[in-house]
Structures are given as structure tokens and as C-alpha cells.
Amino acid sequence: MSDQYYEHRRSLGGPVILILIGVVILLVKTRVISGSLVAHWFAHYWPLLLILIGIIKLIEYYFDKERGAPARGVGAGLIILVIILIVFGLMASSAERVNWSALGGELNIPDDSDFMAGVFGSNYSYTQTLQQDFPKDASLRVVVSDRGDVTITTWDQPSIKVEVSKKVRARDQNEANKIDENTHPTINTEGNVVTLNANTSGAGTGAAESDLNIYIPAKAAVDISTRRGSITLQDRQGDVRASTTHGDVTVTNINGSVSADMRSGSITADKITGNLQVNGQVNDTNISNVNGSVRLTGEYFGQLNLAKIAGGVTFHTSRTDLELGKLDGDLTMESGDLRAREIAGPVRLVTKSKDIHLDGVTGDVKLENENGLVEVHADKLPLGTMNISNSNGDIKVAVPSKAQFDVEARAQNGEINTDFNGIKVENSGDNSQASGSNGSGGAKLQISNEHGNVDIRKLS
């Protein structure tokens, strides 16, 4: 053969690798082998493909040398293939070291999603039941070290029963069985504290998720901690503490106080005889029928709904400070709106960029706002002291016609309007001032607004 023929001969490395890849893909598509197993092997052993290309090049070199032909060159296609193998191989190796289960939790991928399982493993289910004596007057501490929902159910037996529903993510059944064996829950009793450890990280973080349905006597105090998972308690006659990094908390019909620490999730609380305290980063908040006080601190991103709080409300975030002496009606707050009715003072509210509507207010009110409307309706006597300031929004105050009060009001770049004859309004350019009394005087109304009007009206 001519030298020209040999010069145009190309390496077989590229075609061999492409054939090999095609065969593997065909086997995966026909379910002969598992795609997750292929991904695992590629992440660990992809350099073997580079070694195979090198071996093919050596064989071609000696084959051409024996025939006295020039050595075959390396084509652009083979160079591109090698680069692709290196890039994807390094990416696969890095991906294999990522805790995809934990990452899925941080990204809020639903627990029933098979996305990660389909790529790096399959899901296997297991159940288990534990039961032992529960000492009288003991409290329960639940530790869910990684993932899993916890439900506390009341029963009349002097024992604790735990029903475990476990999901294990693994590459095959044998690996799943080993993970299951290493993640069995444990129950230990020391003095008057019973500790239940879900042990979900016993085989590595994210390998197992255990949902726990726990049956204990009604009078036992409960302390629950879970990294990712929802917590549900009802019909308890003791104090409750719940802590979750990623999950919802639901507590109902609790004859005691409740404390919740949250970093992501919503809270629902109803029929609490003691105090309720919530701290952290909370999505939606629904709290009702609390005989004690409610204290909410941290950051609240969703809708806030409160109703019938006998012991008062304290709400503190980076944008809003709110204190109520009592909430007989309801309160709803979203990002740009706050509405409340049947609230008792002292009321203190400092916020911004909200339209505020307070109906049925009794007692003293101190309110500061900006970039929003302020409406305060006080329909009961005697009238409490009001100190209201706002900017870039109107102020509207409505009180009974027989209310006894003194008023001092000013509006910069705005007007003052009133239904009360005893209040004198003076206008000077873009500014207005008002002062006077209704009746023999009594409560003090101090109202100040910038870039907005002030209305002082009679309730019909």
C-alpha cells in the first residue's frame, strides 16, 4: 500500500469508545443494567476509558511499525472525545461525593421525589415497631438526627410505642438492608427522661428517612428535635418543645406551654392553655385560641393569622415590632397589609410599608408607620391615649361622638379634616395643624403625618 493510504488512516480509539458507550446506553434503556449503577461506576472508574484509548493507540503504533507505515495521527474528533470524557468524568466524581439527599432537603425537593433516587440509587421501604414501659411522670425527648416526620399520639397505656416507617436510599437491596440494620431507633430511660433516637444518620447522613408515630401517655412533657421533617402533636397535658430545621409544626389541644424553634416551615397552633413562643424563620403562621401569651420572634415570610389570644401578643422581626395587650378578635398580616379587629391595649406598633387597619381598638395606642395608610377605629369608651405618626400615607382616626379627648395634630404637605366642632384646623400653605377638645377633655390624641392627610371622624 502507498504511504498516502497510510497517512489518511485514523485511530480506532474514538469509534471503539463510542461503540462501548452506545452498548451501555442500550443496556440501560432495555433495563438489563441499572442506570444508577452505571453512574456509580462511571464516577469511580471513568479513567479506564482514557487507558483504553491509550492501549488502542499503542496497538495501532506497533501494528503500523511492523508494516513499515507511518504512525497514525490523532484526529480532532478523538481529541474532543478525550476532553469530553475528562470534563464529564471529573463532574461525575464530584457529584458522587455530594450528599444529594441533604441537598434535596435544602432545596425543598419533596420527600416522595424519585429524582435523586433514579440517578444515584433506589428507594427501599421498611417498617418496625418498638414498645416498652414508660415511667410515671416521665418526659419524652425525641432526637431525629437527620430526616423524618414525628407524630405524637396520646393513649391510655403506661408505655411508649413507636411505629417506624423508614425509607432507605441505596444502590441495591443488600446495601439497603445494611443501612436499615444500622439505623434502627433506640429507646433509653435515664431517671424521668425517656430518649427516643431515630438514629437516621447511623449509616451516613441522608441514607435513611424515618417517620415516627409515637404513642405515649397524655401527661408526659415532650421535647422533639428533627433536622428535616414535620412535627405533629395533639391532646397533650404537658409542656411541648419542638425544634426543626426544615419542616412544619402543628400543635393542637395542648394543656401546657409550647415552644417552637424553626428555620424553615409553617406553624399551626390551636387551643393552647399556656404560653406559646415561636422563634426562627417561619413561612405561614396560624395561631388561635391561646389562653396565655404569644411571643413571635425571628423572620416571618408568609401570611400571619392570629385569633383569640387572651394573654397578649408580642411580634418582633427586623421590619415590625408589635405588642398587643389582648386579641379578642383576629389579626392578619402579609407583606404589605396588616388588619386586626377587637384588640385591647396597650397597643404598640412600629413598622413600615404597610397599610394598617385596626378596628375595635380599646386602650392606649402608639403607632409608627411609613409608606402606607393608617386607619384606627376605636368604638368603645372610655377612649385610650393615641400617639400616631406616619409618612407618605393618610391617617384616618374614627372615635365615638361622645368620646372625651384632647387632640393635637399636624400634617406636613397634607390636609386635616374633622367632624368634631371643638377641633380647630389651621392651614398654612401645604401644612395643616389642628388642636382642641371634645367634651371636657380626657384621652390625648397626638397625630403627626408627613406627605399625607389626617382625618378625625365620628363613628356612626
The backbone torsions φ and ψ at residue 415, rounded to the nearest 5 degrees and listed phi first, read: -115, 155
Cβ neighbors of 72 (< 8 A, separation 6 or more) are 6, 9, 10, 11, 60, 61, 64
Whether pTM exceeds 0.85: no
How many CB atoms within 10 Å of residue 163?
16
> Can you tell me the distance from the alpha carbon of 127 to that of 180, in angstroms, rounded to the nearest whole number?
10
Helix (H, G, I), strand (E, B) or coil at 95: helix
Q: Going residue by residue through the chain (460 aa), what tens digit of pLDDT does each one get?
A: 444 444 455 667 677 777 888 888 887 767 666 566 677 677 777 788 888 877 877 787 777 777 776 666 666 777 787 788 888 878 877 765 554 444 444 444 444 443 344 444 678 999 999 999 999 999 999 987 678 899 999 999 999 999 999 988 887 888 889 989 988 999 999 999 999 998 887 766 557 889 999 999 999 999 999 888 899 999 999 999 999 988 999 999 999 999 999 998 999 999 999 999 999 999 999 999 999 999 999 999 889 999 999 999 999 999 999 999 999 999 999 988 999 999 998 999 999 999 999 999 999 999 999 999 999 999 988 899 999 999 999 999 999 999 999 999 999 999 999 999 999 999 888 899 999 999 887 899 999 999 999 999 998 7
Buried/exposed 204-238: b ≥16 CB within 10 Å, e otherwise: eebbbbbbbbbbbbeebbbbbbbbbbbbbbeebeb
Select from 382, 386, 434, 424 the least CA-distant residue to 403: 382
> Can you tell me the distance from the alpha carbon of 344 to that of 361, in angstroms, rounded to the nearest whole number?
6
